[in-house]
């Protein structure tokens, strides 16, 4: 089937390449000419494991093209909308400018029977509004909302073999047609047994923000327990293991530390609160304010820990920061807790030397005032404290003796509970972590 993908960022670029893998013919469209040029050359414009290979294979089939001109979508039956929905500058709400612009730009190129499929994360009510716009402008064209649940770092696998599909479709006969078309798009995964939930627009939109709110709540729950551990001398990692053995709770997403960041969880819970407020249901999700506040306190606590091990002030102190991306296996620094902590320490006068396997370019663009170095050795040489803020595997595996030979003072702050404290203490380090004695 010929289809288009509008918006080729972390979501859209992966979606476009994966749809070719499933046998479809895809044109990817983006307003960012540099991104389109890179993708056309087979270069992933961001770091995502497996994407470069997949892109090369997809381009080699001749069934994947990219363009900055939306007219290139002509002949496609299905149009995936994958543009950004960031937080507005002046409020908690989502900025729908890009989604609205993408759908408006598509309208002149739609024909009878065409389907617009929203994948971006949007406030409940958006799909209904856009569906009316599409149906009014193009008789016979319809809209579905098919939220995406992929994780950065596992985006290819999550797209090809998702846990489930959710289709938000219009009522009646046109809904059945939409369902059949989406089943054709995802035929391979459906044949492998991936569950699919077919529902109305509002439920589909809410499923997405409910899932991200649940994940954020789980992380803030364990980080709230970490705060209790800090005042009682208990160990949050053992607590998480112990409660996680209960299958009803589950161990995943109970890693206490610096908390959640990225281009999705933070802005999605805020947009959810804003939308609930507009609907007069703010009480229903008012707990998310607490989830957000707990998350913010972890970053502040990390800065306090650095102050503590530095004798009350970091002014002039040399600090090595290992990791600046919002999580490992990504180059994404959007709302990164690690980068936030590094920047705050610099404001307090610390000399912050930062290293990261993939995120340096993005971090430098946001915080040029930090000192970026290529290797761990360069970062830690002479340092008064080493902060592990993103748990890349190569940082988890560091040898405390080898690192110890380079630093000025053997003090390590483990912002992700990723190191084995005993190993570092035995090597003569002061080891401090969030939620651990
Ligand atoms: N990043 C992720 O892991 C996931 C993201 N999402 C959702 O997907 C959406 C996109 O997120 P990302 O890919 O991370 O954002 P992104 O910022 O990486 O990509 C968005 C792309 O859309 C392009 N764009 C903006 N306006 C356009 C227009 N009118 N026409 C064509 N292209 C346009 C931008 O140039 C950019 O390349 C958001 O709603 C996000 O919440 C959902 C699941 C996973
Ligand atoms: O809507 C989205 O864009 C996506 O948001 C998240 O995916 P992602 O942002 O890629 O990353 P996660 O793996 O969820 O991690 C989010 C943040 O939580 C933190 N985290 C995660 C797990 C944990 O136990 N503790 C913890 O602090 C991570 O370090 C990271 O900063 C969801 O997991 C995806 O299902 C969703 O599709």
Task: Give 258-284 pLDDT, tens digit per residue.
Answer: 999 999 999 999 999 999 999 999 999
What band does 123 get if pLDDT is binned at 50, 70 and 90? very high
Q: What is the per-residue pLDDT across 32-43, written as a single tens digit (0 to 9) for each? A: 999 999 999 999
Compute the distance between CA of residue 344 and CA of residue 304 in angstroms, rounded to an integer: 11
Burial class of residue 316 in the structure, from the number of CB atoms within 10 Å of its CB (0-12 exposed, 13-18 middle, 19+ buried): exposed
CB atoms within 10 A of CB 2: 14
Nearest CA-CA partner of 166 in 185, 149, 153, 189: 149
The number of the ligand 1 atom at minimal distance from the alpha carbon of 102 is 29
The number of the ligand 1 atom at minimal distance from the alpha carbon of 35 is 37
Domains 2-199 and 301-433 share a fold: yes
| DSSP summary character for residue 150 | -
Q: Which residues of 214-226 are buried (b: 16+ CB within 10 A; e: fewer)?
A: ebbbbbbbbbbbb
To test ligand 1's pocket by mutation, which of 264, 329, 365 has the most ligand atoms within 8 angstroms of CB? Answer: 264
Closest C-alpha residue for ligand 2 atom 3:
264
CATH class of 2-199: alpha beta
Position 125 scores a pLDDT of 98
Looking at the annotation, which residues are catalytic? 264
Compute the distance between CA of residue 108 and CA of residue 358 in angstroms, rounded to an integer: 40
Average pLDDT, integer, range 204-213: 98
Ligand 1, CB within 6 Å, residue ranges? 6-12, 29-32, 35, 82-85, 98, 101-102, 105, 120-121, 148, 150, 152, 263-264
Give domain limits for the chain.
2-199, 209-292, 301-433
Which pairs with CB-CB distance under 8 Å and at least 24 residues apart come from 396-402?
400/424, 400/426, 400/427, 400/429, 401/427
Domain 301-433, architecture per CATH: 3-Layer(aba) Sandwich (3.40)
Q: What is the per-residue pLDDT across 297-339, written as a single tens digit (0 to 9) for each? A: 999 999 999 999 999 999 999 999 999 999 999 999 999 999 9
Position 200 scores a pLDDT of 98
265 CA → ligand 2 middle, Å? 7
ipTM of the predicted structure?
0.98
Mean pLDDT of the chain: 98
Tell how strand 371-372 and strand 385-388 pair up: unpaired
Tell me, which fold does domain 209-292 have in CATH?
A: 1.10.1040
Tell how many helices (H) and how many strands (E) occur in the chain. 18, 14
CA torsion 414→417→418→422, rounded to 10°?
Answer: 80
Compute the distance between CA of residue 118 and CA of residue 101 in angstroms, rounded to an integer: 13
Sheet holding 196-199, edge to edge: 64-67, 25-29, 2-6, 78-81, 115-118, 142-145, 165-168, 196-199
Is the sign of the CA dihedral 121, 122, 128, 131 positive or negative? negative
CB atoms within 10 A of CB 72: 16
174 CA → ligand 1 middle, Å? 28
Task: Report percent pLDDT > 70 for the chain.
Answer: 100
Rounded to 10 deg, the angle between the 126-137 and 201-232 helix axes is 160
Compute the distance between CA of residue 137 and CA of residue 140 in angstroms, rounded to an integer: 9
Compute the distance between CA of residue 63 and CA of residue 58 in angstroms, rounded to an integer: 7
Compute the distance between CA of residue 270 and CA of residue 268 in angstroms, rounded to an integer: 5
Nearest CA-CA partner of 333 in 268, 262, 394, 416: 262
């Amino acid at each position: 089937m010929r289809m288009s993908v509008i918006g080729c960022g972390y979501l859209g670029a992966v979606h476009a390449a994966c749809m070719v893998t499933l046998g479809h013919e895809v044109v990817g469209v983006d307003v960012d000419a540099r991104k389109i040029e890179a993708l056309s050359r087979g270069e992933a414009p961001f770091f995502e494991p497996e994407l470069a290979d997949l892109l090369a294979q997809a381009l080699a089939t001749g069934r994947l093209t990219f363009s900055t001109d939306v007219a290139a979508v002509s002949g496609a039956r299905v149009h995936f909308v994958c543009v950004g929905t960031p937080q507005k500058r002046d409020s908690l709400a989502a900025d729908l400018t890009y989604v609205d612009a993408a759908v408006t730009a598509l309208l002149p190129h739609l024909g009878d029977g065409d389907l617009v499929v929203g994948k971006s994360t949007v406030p409940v009510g958006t799909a209904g509004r856009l569906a009316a716009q599409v149906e009014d402008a193009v008789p016979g064209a319809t809209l579905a909302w098919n939220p995406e649940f992929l994780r950065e770092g596992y985006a290819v696998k999550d797209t090809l073999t998702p846990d489930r599909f959710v289709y938000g479709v219009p009522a009646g006969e046109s809904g059945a047609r939409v369902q059949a078309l989406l089943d054709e798009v995802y035929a391979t995964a459906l044949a492998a047994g991936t569950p699919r939930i077919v529902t109305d627009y509002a439920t589909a939109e809410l499923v997405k923000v409910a899932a991200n709110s649940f994940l954020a709540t789980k992380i803030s729950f364990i980080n709230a327990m970490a705060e209790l551990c800090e005042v009682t001398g208990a160990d949050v990692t053992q607590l998480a293991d112990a409660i996680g053995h209960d299958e009803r709770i589950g161990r995943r997403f109970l890693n206490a530390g610096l908390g959640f960041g990225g281009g999705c969880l933070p802005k999605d819970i805020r947009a959810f609160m804003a939308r609930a407020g507009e609907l007069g249901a703010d009480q229903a999700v008012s707990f998310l304010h607490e989830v957000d506040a707990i998350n913010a306190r972890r970053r502040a606590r990390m800065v306090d820990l650095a102050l503590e091990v530095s004798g009350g002030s970091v002014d002039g102190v040399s600090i090595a920061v290992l990791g600046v991306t919002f999580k490992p296996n990504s180059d994404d620094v959007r709302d990164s807790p690690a980068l936030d902590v590094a920047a705050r320490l610099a404001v307090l006068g610390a000399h912050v030397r930062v290293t990261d396997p993939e995120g340096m370019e993005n971090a430098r663009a946001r915080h040029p005032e930090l000192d970026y170095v290529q290797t761990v050795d360069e970062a830690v040489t002479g340092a008064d404290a080493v902060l592990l803020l993103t748990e890349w595997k190569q940082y988890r595996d560091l040898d405390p003796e080898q690192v110890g030979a380079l630093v000025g003072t053997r003090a390590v702050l483990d912002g992700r509970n990723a190191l084995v404290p005993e190993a570092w203490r035995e090597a003569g380090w002061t080891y401090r972590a969030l939620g651990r004695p």
